[in-house]
Structure 1
């Protein structure tokens, strides 16, 4: 199995140099991959509005310093929008969508927006358990949901790629007149996980946003700028900010993205349809 190795060498107080080895947080697991595939194939329904409100309430109360009903509604609406805009084409058969997703590089659109959202909130809960006394700035909840959703989509896609055999013919080549011959998603033996896009590392601490000087001189001009930043430049800056938040989230999560019992998480979300007031906000998955 391939792992990304970074060796940091620095002189400690003693006479021994310290080395630290890191592996990709999107490292796949065959058992986890099979669980995710089973959940997608048998529990592909969209979370109910009651579930979205409960998830939004949990995120807001966990991280907002002064959560309000308006804040919870905004987060719930944001989650609803993610489910509407990040899914695959619903007219394509599910198995075909899984194969198409595994053949591509981008984790979005995802074949399971609802499951991806549940994984994302699970990561947000895990982060809160690691830092129980920490509260975020106003509006941080939406950013947490977005970054956690991207991480969950990448993790799910990485695990599906582990077992989906994308070398088999597309399901479109089979005639719809004989559905009994349509195959299920073929599986293959475990392979090396996909490699994340290579991004230049910040080797200069002064370039890292936590270490930027607050006394950095700024030039204020009375004249408006002549040239607005290009669209590609704005996209590049946005992508960098997302990449930075993703890596910070993974760092504070200790790279732990494993969800030990996917079915339990799905059953909890389904209970909200019949029981509007479950005994806990989220099942104890840790």
Structure 2
């Protein structure tokens, strides 16, 4: 109960402290991707922290989004650091993601941006922090502007890792898929309420050529706000509650998601 009371206080503080501006906050959701690439010369640095109870595990992600000449093409990378509770508690870097995203469409009403990702085997698969081999991921993001106050975002994609390894060195090709949607309500252009739904299904290697399947379901209500620092930099903090649904609710999974973005025009 103390966690959710503290979360409520933080949400209220963020709402009261928000700075109103004419430009609406974009591309700052939590588990759902918005289909907006960075504008020319604008680089975004994102930090996120996700804590899950009762497993008492957490993941910290550092993401850097960089436009390639203009908003049509975007490169980004994600460096994850995770704490896992296995036989022993471990905190290590996981598999790094290298992303290319193409701005297929961006109008006043609809934006579409497919993402192609190479997953590098940087995590220690022997301790559960990676798959031991390179993998591939695809995600399709679609954003719909419903009105001046409401925006709707949709994600769907998959992950494929050939000959993934478990901690014993057994291998099998694993596949996973994801689906999600969110609604964003603009209390002011710079203060937004969010409600996200994220579903993930993933296979894991349990023995040679043998796989297990697991799904997670989360709903994430939250808030984000934005502050202008000078004329070229925008800072966007956000916070949300992770609430398990379906099997995740049966296992009493819940947690918190903390977000911080710094976006600057560097050239």
Larger Rg: 1
Select the structure with the greater relative contact order (CA < 8 A; seq sep ≥ 6): 1
More strand by share: 2
Instruction: Report the structure, 1 or 2, having the larger helix content.
Output: 1
TM range, smaller chain? under 0.3
